[in-house]
Amino acid sequence: MHEVTTEVTLVVVVGILIIGAVATIANRIGVAAPLLLVVLGAGIALVPAAPHIEVPPEVFLTIILPPLLYTAALKVPAVDFRRNLRVIGYLSVVLVAVSALAVALVVQAIWPIVGFAAALALGAVVAPPDAVAATALGKRLGLPPRVVTILEGEGLINDATALVLLSTAVAAITRAGNSDVEAGPLVGDFALAVLVALVIGALVGYATVRIRQHASDRAIDTAISLATPFLSFLAAEALHGSGIVAVVVTGLVIGNRSQMRIRATRRAQESATWGTFSVIVENGVFLTMGMQLPTVLSAVDAGERHLLGVVLVGLLLCAVLLVVRFASMPPLMWWLRGTAVRRRRDHERLAQRLERLDTTTKRGAKLQRAHDMRGHDIVALDDQRLGWRDMLAIGWAGMRGVVTVAAVQTLPAETPMRAELVLAAFVVAIVTLLAQGGTLAWLVKLLRLTHDGTERHRQELDALLGETIEAGIDAMQREADARGMDEALVEAAGERMRSRRAWAAHVAEVDPDDASTDVAQIARLRHLAVDAERRWLDQVRRTGRFDSSTVSVVQRIIDREEIGLQADEDEH
> What pLDDT digit, counting tens, does each position of 237-259 carry?
899 888 888 998 999 899 888 87
pLDDT at 420: 87
Residues 241 and 372: their CA atoms lie apart, in Å, by 35
Residues recorded for the chain: 572
pLDDT confidence tier of residue 182, bands split at 50, 70 and 90: low
User: Among residues 447, 474, 491, which one ends one of the domains?
Assistant: 447
Rounded CA gap, 485 and 490, in Å?
8
> What pLDDT does residue 340 have?
76
Is position 191 within any domain?
A: yes
- The residue out of 465, 482, 509 marking a domain boundary is 509
Most confidently modeled range among 83-87, 156-160, 198-202, 411-415: 198-202
**pLDDT on residue 123:** 93
Same domain, 459 and 565: no
- Quote the CA–CA distance of 7 and 53 in Å, as a whole number: 11
67-89 pLDDT, tens digit per residue, is 888 888 887 777 778 888 888 88
pLDDT of 374 = 73
Highest mean pLDDT among 96-105, 234-243, 390-399: 96-105
Q: Is residue 357 included in any domain, yes or no? A: no
Say yes or no: 392 and 534 in one domain.
no
pLDDT of 134 > 60? The answer is no
Q: Comparing 232 with 359, which gets the higher pLDDT?
A: 232
Looking at the structure, tell me whether residues 12 and 115 fall in a common domain: yes
Percent of the chain with pLDDT over 90: 13
Taking the CA atoms of the chain, what radius of gyration do you get in angstroms? 27
pLDDT for position 303: 60
Same domain, 93 and 174: yes
Instruction: State what percent of residues in the chain have pLDDT above 70.
Output: 80
Per mean pLDDT, which range of 1-5, 34-38, 122-126, 534-538 is the poorest? 1-5
Domain assignment present for 212: yes
| CA distance linking residue 535 with residue 245, whole number of Å | 48
Residues 36 and 119 in one domain: yes
> What average pLDDT does the segment 100-107 reach?
93
**250 and 274 part of one domain:** yes
In a domain, 390, yes or no: yes
pLDDT at 316 over 90: yes
Give per-residue pLDDT as tens, 142-153: 677 778 888 888
Mark whether 9 and 66 lie in a shared domain. Answer: yes
Closest of 73, 72, 83 to residue 384, by C-alpha: 83
Neighbours of 249 (CB within 10 A): 27
Q: Is residue 299 part of a domain?
A: yes
Residue 231 pLDDT class (50, 70, 90 cuts): very high
Better pLDDT: 137 or 425: 425
Average pLDDT of the segment spanning 293-320: 80
Among the residue ranges 51-60, 221-230, 340-349, 384-393, the one predicted with the least confidence is 51-60
Residue 66 and residue 111 in one domain: yes
What is the mean pLDDT of the segment spanning 280-308?
75
Domain of residue 201, residue span: 2-334+378-447
The answer to whether residue 372 is domain-embedded is: no
Q: What pLDDT sits at residue 2? A: 53
Residues 42, 293: Cα–Cα separation, whole Å: 6
Residue type at 258? Answer: S
Residue 384: which CATH number? 1.20.1530.20
- 476, 525: one domain: no
Instruction: Please compute the mean of the pLDDT values over residues 288-309 and round it to a whole number.
Output: 73
| 539 in the same domain as 437 | no
**Residue 41 Cα distances to 6, 73, 289, 290, 394, angstroms:** 21, 29, 7, 4, 31
More confident residue, 477 or 347: 477
Q: Three-state SS for 514?
A: coil
Question: Is residue 178 very low, low, confident or very high in pLDDT (cuts 50, 70, 90)?
Answer: very low
- Residue 455's pLDDT band, with cuts at 50, 70 and 90, is low
Q: What is the total count of domains within the chain? A: 3
pTM above 0.95, yes or no: no
pLDDT, average across residues 79-105: 88
pLDDT tens-digit series, residues 152-164: 888 878 887 888 7
How does pLDDT run across 344-371, given as a tens digit for each residue? 777 777 777 777 776 677 777 777 777 7
For residue 546, name the pLDDT band (cuts at 50, 70, 90): confident
Contact predicate 274/254, CB 8 Å: no
Within-domain flag for 365: no
In a domain, 366, yes or no: no
Identify the band that residue 325 occupies on the pLDDT scale cut at 50, 70 and 90: very high
C-alpha separations of 133 from 300, 434, 475, 479, 522 in Å? 30, 12, 43, 48, 32
Q: Is the same domain home to 417 and 459?
A: no
User: Are 31 and 122 in a shared domain?
Assistant: yes
Kindly tell me if the per-residue pLDDT of 192 is higher than 70. Answer: yes
